[in-house]
Structure 1
Amino acid sequence: MTTRRNFLKSTLAATAAASTTLSLARSSHAAGSDKIKIGLIGCGGRGSGAAVNAMNAGPDVTLVAMADIFEDRVTGARQRLKELKPDQVAVDDDHMFVGFDAYQKVIDSADVVLIAAASHFHPVYLKAAVAANKHVFCEKPHGLDVPGLKIAMAAGEEAKKKNLTLVSGLCWRYDLGVRETIKRVQDGAIGDVINVQENYLTRPYILRERQPEWSEMYYQYQNWYHFNWLSGDQTAQQLIHSIDKGSWILGDVPPLKAWGMGGRQVCLDPKYGDQFDHFAVVFEYASGARMFGFCRDIPNCYNGTTDVVFGSKGQAYLPTRCKITGATEWEYDGPKVSMYDQEHKELFDGIRSGNYVNNTSYMFTSSMLAILAQMVCYTGKEITWEQAMQSTLDFTQKEYSFDAEPPVKPDAAGNYATAMPGITPFA
């Protein structure tokens, strides 16, 4: 059993031990003499993908440790990764860690830590890795509530002081075509930006069927995408990518306020947990610009992930076919590389050169935008940025184990309570 106290404070011993030394990636590898050892926390599809992207960054990158709360995820991922990268996967049985404390064992084993577990855990894992002087790749979101986000951002600032690389999984920042298009927009190619429309329309996440032997908590961890306390709903899982691009276009300044609507119209079966299946949110900025964010997770509907920027002299379109129309006619025709590979290339290039990358600033703003989007759609209220930053809602649990009491439980019919706009309070 892992209690709230030792889960949140388990980094203290690691901090003391790490404070006297530098990680290998900061010292001996800088001289070109050592391989860079990476450790993976979270061995699902995104974690396995991140490990491949990291190893694509160079033959000197070696996977040496893996962790997950589910044993089959660790064993299955090692087998798949070994088949894909036989010369770079060196994870022996003693470095396959399982359990709620397994993350710390990976941190102790590696120079660079890849964090891609259930989003609920990102702030604590990030804090622990930075405390141990490790470079980090951390998937989005970087907090599901304001207290958690503040933990993550404090770790990000500490990483800056320690000259540690911290790269965010907000991957569109590393797409070359998107970068060039947004640069041109910010240089005035479409005049003043008036509105940004962000769309993330897709189908529901994978569902794992409940098994008779599973506890309720075990079931929720297996289906963590569908429970708000573990995932932050789709504003934090999907829409965050889109509004991150919009925020980038608008200079990464916080909005004054937001309002929106959302609900659960089609995905009513208990298997969909306690989440909404659609969101629409409006962010209002001091410049007069507005960002509109739309997200939907309903089967058998039109799907699309698109961005449209409306300016006083034209429009810009992202992300797959990046182009500008109006006073300036332009379309990106430069190199096309995987943004997932590119973010790891820049991470490891920074470690090798000593020009450490740190994405803390926009990690905070974009994660907070996702939190604010959920707040306004769940409550039905208009909420300012300052009000949102004072939120005391905290998803931290008193105990982390498969036998613990979950924060949400099904009723007699198996249904989970869902937020009700106009009724659910802002907290």
Structure 2
Amino acid sequence: MKKDWTRREFLKAGSVAVAGALAGVPGRVLADEDGRPIRIGLVGCGSRGTGAVEDALAADPNVHVVALADLFVDRARSCLRYLRTLRLGRELHPGVRVHEDRCFVGFEAYRRLLDVPLDVVLLATPPGFRPIHFEAAVAAEKHVFIEKPVAVDPAGVRRVYLAGEKARERGLSVVAGTQRRHHSGYLETVRRIREGAIGRILGARCFWNQGGLWHRKREAGWSDMEWQVRNWLYFDWLSGDHIVEQHVHNLDVVNWVLGSVPLRAVGSGGREVRTDPVFGNIYDHFAVDFEYPGGIHVLSMCRQMEGTDGAVGELVTGTEGRADPGGWIDGARPWRFEGEVPNPYVAEHAALLASIRRGEPANEARQVAEATMTAILGRHAAYTGEVVEWDALLASDLDFSPPRYEFGDLPVRSVPIPGRS
């Protein structure tokens, strides 16, 4: 029987319930009484993956990093070199236990890593690979830290959603890299908003506007595949475009505050500054109007252009005030968050590891899949220039996957043109 891919299907299990379940998890967790370390492996040895390992080591004093996997040998080696410099006090960190024979390279490296005895897999490759790796990790019965976004197209979102259900059935923990869900200021402010601190919510704005990012010059001998993966930010099948790769954080907060996902979206966007072919086929700006249940509209903006105003955040307006979900409320009941804010990048790993030690599985797969799909909805609205319905897009056959995962020729899709795409 075909799965009913609708908003109702996404929401029926209560996507916002998990957010509060881990609110009491401290910034660090205690080791098992028997002293058994939690063994972790990393898939994706770039800066985010390397940082995720460092955060996990900071979150729990009894974690061992035992295996690394990456498409490229230079990335795996640089990650290992860095990890071997980490210190705990005056000594080299005892949690770094990776031997060279457990550094795996290539398109199948993740499978070889999953054959290693370990408990947790950190998934931090470019997002286009995420659904494949998540499915494999769950099938191997590993707990998972899954970086955002978790897919780049509806086909990938569906795969993550189903794998997340399997993880739940098997008692596996899944925690996502949407760190605002583990930020004490956000946790308390969102709780107050949802309890009526600004009255009935009328609408919201969210934005991630900044300058440009890095790119790597193509080297002699690089195939199309290697060039694109090493410059993954700029190709739709790898990053999903920056509205998906980056702005997903803000859209996740909006979904969290509203307790829902959007019904539909209409938007615009384009490629005004980053027009050189080195920047692949993505846009450099988006503006999207998301419509949520109850007639609530959310204005979303994101931009990556040098020399422009930078702003990152969310604002929610209600009948009795307005709020920044990150820490303040103005209006009938003004309030400011003044508590401590443990590093949320560490706190998300503390939540994952604590859930494993307590035998109380956490599962954030659904909520991060919703956030990813929300961003994909906005992107598709801008790419096409049409009003795009959530249900129709989620059920569609839109799939950015390359025909083969191998080094070689890989033509770049044309930059989308609204009205023609």
TM-score, normalised with respect to structure 1 = 0.88
Q: Does 1:406 align with 2:378?
A: no
Unmatched runs of 5 consecutive residues or more in structure 1: 1-28, 410-416
Q: Does 1:422 align with 2:419?
A: yes
Assess if the C-alpha contact under 8 Å between 1:30 and 1:354 holds in 2.
Answer: no
Name the amino acid aligned to 1:377: A
The alpha-carbon deviation at position 31 of structure 1 amounts to: 6.1
Assess if the C-alpha contact under 8 Å between 1:280 and 1:293 holds in 2.
Answer: yes
**Structure 1, residues 400-419: CA drift from partner, whole Å, max 9, x if none?**
1122x31416xxxxxxx210
Cα separation, 2, equivalents of 1:220 and 1:397? 11
Q: 1:300 aligns with which of 307, 312, 317?
A: 307
Assess if the C-alpha contact under 8 Å between 2:204 and 2:299 holds in 1.
Answer: yes
Q: Does 1:201 align with 2:205?
A: no
Q: Does 1:368 align with 2:373?
A: yes
Name the amino acid aligned to 2:112: K
**What pairs up with 1:168-247 in 2 under 5 angstroms?**
168-247=176-255
Q: 1:77 aligns with which of 68, 76, 79?
A: 79
Assess if the C-alpha contact under 8 Å between 2:323 and 2:329 holds in 1.
Answer: yes
User: What secondary structure is seen at the aligned counterpart in 1 of 2:59?
Assistant: coil
Cα separation, 2, equivalents of 1:139 and 1:306? 20
Q: Does 1:350 align with 2:355?
A: yes
Assess if the C-alpha contact under 8 Å between 1:259 and 1:382 holds in 2.
Answer: yes
Q: Does 1:340 align with 2:360?
A: no
Cα separation, 1, equivalents of 2:33 and 2:405? 41
Q: 1:264 aligns with which of 267, 271, 291?
A: 271
Cα separation, 2, equivalents of 1:318 and 1:305? 12
The alpha-carbon deviation at position 395 of structure 1 amounts to: 1.9
**Structure 1, residues 92-139: CA drift from partner, whole Å, max 9, x if none?**
010011000001122222210000001101001000001011000000
Q: Does 1:254 align with 2:251?
A: no
Work out which structure has the larger RCO, using CA pairs closer than 8 Å and 6 or more positions apart in sequence: 2
Cα separation, 1, equivalents of 2:101 and 2:145? 23
Cα separation, 2, equivalents of 1:273 and 1:222? 12
Cα separation, 1, equivalents of 2:263 and 2:161? 21
The alpha-carbon deviation at position 341 of structure 1 amounts to: 0.4
Q: Which residue is 1:21 aligned to? A: none
Cα separation, 2, equivalents of 1:265 and 1:289? 30
The alpha-carbon deviation at position 361 of structure 1 amounts to: 2.3
Q: Which residue is 1:103 aligned to? A: 110
Cα separation, 1, equivalents of 2:107 and 2:213? 24
Q: 1:278 aligns with which of 265, 282, 285?
A: 285
User: What secondary structure is seen at the aligned counterpart in 1 of 2:314?
Assistant: strand
Cα separation, 2, equivalents of 1:215 and 1:128? 27
User: What secondary structure is seen at the aligned counterpart in 1 of 2:196?
Assistant: coil
Cα separation, 2, equivalents of 1:92 and 1:36? 17
Name the amino acid aligned to 1:423: R
Cα separation, 2, equivalents of 1:356 and 1:32? 20
Q: Does 1:151 align with 2:159?
A: yes
The alpha-carbon deviation at position 213 of structure 1 amounts to: 1.9
Cα separation, 2, equivalents of 1:255 and 1:149? 15
Give me the CA root mean square deviation. 1.3
Name the amino acid aligned to 1:300: G
Name the amino acid aligned to 1:352: R
The alpha-carbon deviation at position 33 of structure 1 amounts to: 4.1
Cα separation, 1, equivalents of 2:331 and 2:254? 20
Assess if the C-alpha contact under 8 Å between 1:199 and 1:295 holds in 2.
Answer: yes
Cα separation, 2, equivalents of 1:45 and 1:202? 19
Assess if the C-alpha contact under 8 Å between 1:30 and 1:351 holds in 2.
Answer: no
Cα separation, 2, equivalents of 1:296 and 1:398? 30
Q: Which residue is 2:21 aligned to? A: none
Q: Which residue is 2:62 aligned to? A: 60
Cα separation, 2, equivalents of 1:262 and 1:342? 35
Unmatched runs of 5 consecutive residues or more in structure 2: 1-30, 88-92
Q: Does 1:138 align with 2:141?
A: no
Deviates more, 1:199-208 or 1:92-101: 199-208
Q: Which residue is 1:89 aligned to? A: 96
The alpha-carbon deviation at position 360 of structure 1 amounts to: 2.1
The alpha-carbon deviation at position 335 of structure 1 amounts to: 1.3
Assess if the C-alpha contact under 8 Å between 2:224 and 2:411 holds in 1.
Answer: no
